[in-house]
Structure 1
């Protein structure tokens, strides 16, 4: 097994590192908030003090939230490229724009380091269970070099192209996810307004051809109105911002996506920023007078 480095141990990053540790790898980890590395240290990860310390590993994975974070941890004054020693391969699993990814790729390859964009689909629970999916883009030789580790993290790893195609594929996935959730909460609220409970409606829907594993797993959260975050409304808005910007650039009309984008914005404006994105139900239920308006609650 390889000596690997991992940068970014939030909810998703920690779950992915856990998969690599369980596969027998030695993993050095760094996170801006060191306390988030403690559970991984208890599982055998080595916590390092500085980002450049990760460069002792040949392959370094990154999982951060925004393009600005990615730029800082790679190209910043204390980033992966700042020291004399550099990793052989950087694998970025974040969800960022193709433009940001291309900028980082140019900087990394200029230092003779290989770069693979490899965003992941799945929440931390799905990742921990081994059912996530990675879509990657970059040179095929780089993909093949790290494929064994991608498949230790995820159930499926797909090579989508030689440049930044994986970034758009992941954004398309999250646009679709947001549109599905908005559609789901709309029909739930309609059934409720007509006198059927959420629980009964979802039991029926899950038994039809429209049911899926994801919906069945998230049904208890919808029934109990549990918005413990797996993927926040704010992060969903970020991906809609990026995805709709890509659609404008490529001249692809996205009427459903644009409408959902505004509903996500409304949900954030009423205090649902840090809640799980399933809390779009709250905004819908308030509009249908199934739940008090925020000002009345």
Structure 2
């Protein structure tokens, strides 16, 4: 696993590529908007003009794209990566997608190419420090091959067969968006009772919403409201009957109402005039 391709150089993809480059890995990057990838050239990356060019020499291909449609376009669209994937290569799918979407990707890859389902918990600061949690789903032998590279990004948690990594990631993100929603509502009550927000947050930090309070104050994290909404929809899709997921549906309503969909989810707490 000496040559690595990173498809998608948004904030997380860039952080992952930089971490691998800092560890001495040979990395080729591609992004649909080429200017977002160009900055990595100064860190030592090769910048490819297409997914085909990016994966041509890669032993390990990491996808960090917005959603399953973007992954599909990069791997299987016109002039996309599938045609150039090397026999024996491993595709590490780190985008947050649904388990059935992982199965769809696996079914379209060449038989000579392996797929790992490996979304991550953690954000930019964790990727930079190599402290992500990687939810790895797939055959144990394939995880074994990819693990030396994955360990440079963080701790590898083996989840089981292909698709189980994405399933666990949706569980974790469901907890995040519902906790942020609960913190938002709690602070609305604090406002109504005349309790200063800083006093309320200090008290809440020691209680059941402590994780949400810490996330709201994080400075090295970037999880766009739009992406959180996408993940909440994937979670709701997995459960028949919304009467069982009222808190998730309420959190999704809050996310959809945010005027700045590119802002971090913490903006639901820190920006009082976010809602319409």
Q: Would the TM-score normalized by the shorter structure come out above 0.5?
A: yes
Larger Rg: 1
- What do residues 194-230 of structure 1 show as CA deviations (whole Å, max 9, x unaligned)? 2222222222333457534x73363277xxxxxx981
- What do residues 128-175 of structure 1 show as CA deviations (whole Å, max 9, x unaligned)? 233321101111111111111111112x21111112111111111111
Residue 73 to residue 185, structure 1, CA distance change in 2 (3 Å): same
Stretches (4+) displaced over 4 A? 84-87, 207-210, 291-294
The answer on whether the counterparts of 1:55 and 1:86 sit within 8 Å (CA) in structure 2 is: no
- What do residues 242-274 of structure 1 show as CA deviations (whole Å, max 9, x unaligned)? 11101229x993222122222322x14xx2322
The reply on whether 1:259 has 2:250 as its aligned counterpart is: yes
Quote the residue 1:146 is aligned against.
146
Aligned-partner Cα distance in 2 for 1:153–1:47: 21
Task: Tell me the SS of whatever aligns to 1:36.
Answer: helix
Instruction: Extract unaligned runs of 5+ from structure 2.
Output: none
- Write 1 or 2 for the structure with the bigger share of helix: 1
Aligned-partner Cα distance in 1 for 2:27–2:206: 42
The answer on whether the counterparts of 1:127 and 1:153 sit within 8 Å (CA) in structure 2 is: yes
Question: What number of residue pairs does the alignment pair up?
Answer: 275
The answer on whether the counterparts of 1:229 and 1:275 sit within 8 Å (CA) in structure 2 is: no
- Give matches, 1:191-202, under 5 Å: 191-202=190-201
Quote the residue 1:37 is aligned against.
37
Aligned-partner Cα distance in 2 for 1:292–1:61: 34
Aligned-partner Cα distance in 2 for 1:237–1:69: 16
The reply on whether 1:234 has 2:190 as its aligned counterpart is: no
- Give matches, 1:106-117, under 5 Å: 106-108=107-109, 110-117=110-117
Q: CA RMSD in A?
A: 2.6
Residue 61 to residue 292, structure 1, CA distance change in 2 (3 Å): closer
Cα displacement (A) at 1:42: 1.0
- Give matches, 1:105-254, under 5 Å: 105-108=106-109, 110-154=110-154, 156-207=155-206, 211-212=210-211, 215-216=213-214, 218-219=216-217, 230-248=222-240, 253-254=244-245
Cα displacement (A) at 1:292: 9.6
Q: TM-score, normalised by structure 2?
A: 0.89
Q: TM-score, normalised by structure 1?
A: 0.84
Cα displacement (A) at 1:176: 0.9
